[in-house]
Amino acid sequence: MNGLHIYDYLVFLFYFFVVAGYGYWIYRQKKKASVSASHDYFLAEGSLTWWAIGASLIASNISAEQFIGMSGSGFKMGLAIASYEWMAAATLIVVAVFFMPVYLKNKIFTMPQFLNQRYNGTVAMIMAVFWLLLYVVVNLTSILYLGALAINSISGINTTLCMYLLAVFAIFITLGGMKVIGYTDVIQVFFLILGGLVTTYLALNLVAEKSGTTGIVNGFKIMSDQASDHFHMIFRQENKNYMDLPGLTILLGGMWIVNLNYWGCNQYITQRALGADLPTARSGLLFAAFLKLLMPLIVVIPGIAAYVLHQQGNFQTEMLQGGELNPDKAYPVLLNLLPAGLKGLAFAALTAAIVASLAGKANSIATIFTLDIYKKKINPDVDEKWLVQVGKITVIAAMGIAVLIAPLLGIDKKGGFQYIQEYTGFVSPGIFAMFILGFFWKKTTSNAALFATIGGFIFSLFFKFLPGFMNLSFLSRFGFAKANSEGVYEIPFIDRMGFVFVICVLGMVLISVFENRKGVKANGLDIDRSMFRLSPSFLTGTIIVLGILAALYTVFY
């Protein structure tokens, strides 16, 4: 049934008042404890615990594109899409071990600040403007629009109204500052995981019931038997979904660039840990890695369950959009099968994921604009109180712009998850090259960074449109190209990212060596080996996470 029962609304209202009430209480406590300093507002400096950091990372990361888009990808291609989640678990550990010590040792609070300190103001300003555009035009809009579509599909509430309500709820949370976001995210993650697990449980049980048996274990066995092709993590080249997940590149190539750029060079994510000390930040990232291992159970398995049920003859009309099968309808279709009350819980979980992501993204937009643009270029003498007010105004303005332009971008036509990955993939290689060499090679110069920033984007466009001018069939023997429906050999976008990254690194090295010989000095960061030492507890947790990942990829290879 497409709609909510009174019990569903009661469950949702309970969630809303718990989150809003707790957020307001945290805000009041914060006001009593401190003045409205900018670092306290934007970073919650020193006040987030490891579990709040870890929960906030996941709450900000998991949104409608995972619940809807990744479930849809689970319907379409199976468990392989879980690589985005499981590879992220390994990436979080790399960020905790190598990236976070560099940020904290050098007192880095924003990504443009890092670029200004390591390179120069020009590089920092270019990237600050770019990140603002990316966060507003790609991320905020896609989260809002996909979230509104998802809520509309299970509640019947008008999509435009859904967008406005989500925006207002997110603004309410965001205006309290990073501490309010961080601690309310703990509750958001609780609802997100609980509601997600309930949906997964009922989906597996439904698969079993439709096959004449009961229980989630039987349901999983039936799925494994009837959709065995959906339980392989690494695709062969003949697989129809190879262009989305090109074989071993997932383990050895471009997927690392996707994840390391997202988790290690992204204001939206790193901001949660930048206000903490190193042991707390590392523990939070490790906790997030453990939660990441759980995510495919919540967002991918239901999509595979919907696929099996559809193959058995169920949801034949519900899965259609414009007369064609739309995999992104998999999760909403399952939610509409939930009984009253439980549907409200799943509805709350989905809303929690959307609102947490919106709040985190809006806070990052405010942080970059206020600290890296307004304070540096517009009003350098601004006092702390007005700086916080500028941040709040920025939150409202960014959300308003996103609400207005989201319906105009055709996000639902492309598919939400692919929309975000494709467009961020145009710039990720250059940004990651600029960061990784900036961290660990002191001779990297500012002009080299500019080459990666601008050249990375240009080369990404070049490889995107290259198939229209050149026959790339010779790359197919190496697994780096595949013919589309028109016989044109295209490069998978994850492989394109790998190529561009290598070009950016080589270009940066050549430019830096040339400039070093001419006497140009680079602004190296303060780094020493002791920064990278690991505590026994962190090392133990790391071994457990990597062991689980190795087992998962071995079983589902």
Give Cα separations from 228 to 102, 126, 202, 305, 438 (angstroms).
44, 48, 21, 12, 45
Question: Long-range pairs for 113-116 at CB < 8 Å and ≥24 separation?
Answer: 113/371, 113/372, 114/435, 114/438, 115/434, 115/438, 115/449, 116/372
Q: Using the CB atoms, write b or e for 504-535: b if 16+ within 10 Å.
A: bbebbbebbeebeeeeeebeebeeeeeeeeee
Amino acid 383: pLDDT:
80
Judging by beta carbons within 10 Å of its beta carbon (0-12, 13-18, 19+), is residue 408 exposed, middle or buried? exposed
- Say how far apart CA 456 and CA 466 lie, in whole Å: 15
Provide DSSP, 293-355. Answer: HHHHHHHTHHHHHHHHHHHTT-STTTTEETTEE-GGGHHHHHHTTSPTTHHHHHHHHHHHHHH
Sign of the torsion formed by the C-alpha atoms of 512, 516, 517 and 519: positive
Contact 59, 188 (CB under 8 A): yes
The two tokens of residue 62 are 């998991």
Instruction: Report how far Cα 497 is from the mean position of its chain's Cα atoms.
Output: 17
Amino acid 35: pLDDT:
42
Contact 453, 434 (CB under 8 A): yes
The two tokens of residue 206 are 């439904």
Amino acid 52: pLDDT:
84
- Say how far apart CA 194 and CA 198 lie, in whole Å: 6
- Say how far apart CA 285 and CA 269 lie, in whole Å: 10
The amino acid sitting at 297 is L
Question: Domains in the chain and their CATH numbers?
Answer: 6-210+265-415 (1.20.1730.10)
- Say how far apart CA 144 and CA 59 lie, in whole Å: 15
The amino acid sitting at 349 is A
- Say how far apart CA 246 and CA 239 lie, in whole Å: 9
* Three-state secondary structure of 169-230: HHHHHHCCCHHHHHHHHHHHHHHHHHHHHHHHHHHHHHHHHHCCCCCHHHHHHHHHHHCHHH
Contact 122, 450 (CB under 8 A): yes
Q: Which residues of the chain have pLDDT under 50?
A: 33-36
SS3 166: helix
Contacts with 442 (C-beta within 8 Å, 6 or more apart), sequence order: 522, 524, 525
Give which of 250, 551, 305, 277 is closest to 421, Cα–Cα. 250
**How many other C-beta atoms can be found within 10 angstroms of the C-beta atom of residue 137?**
16
- Say how far apart CA 191 and CA 104 lie, in whole Å: 32
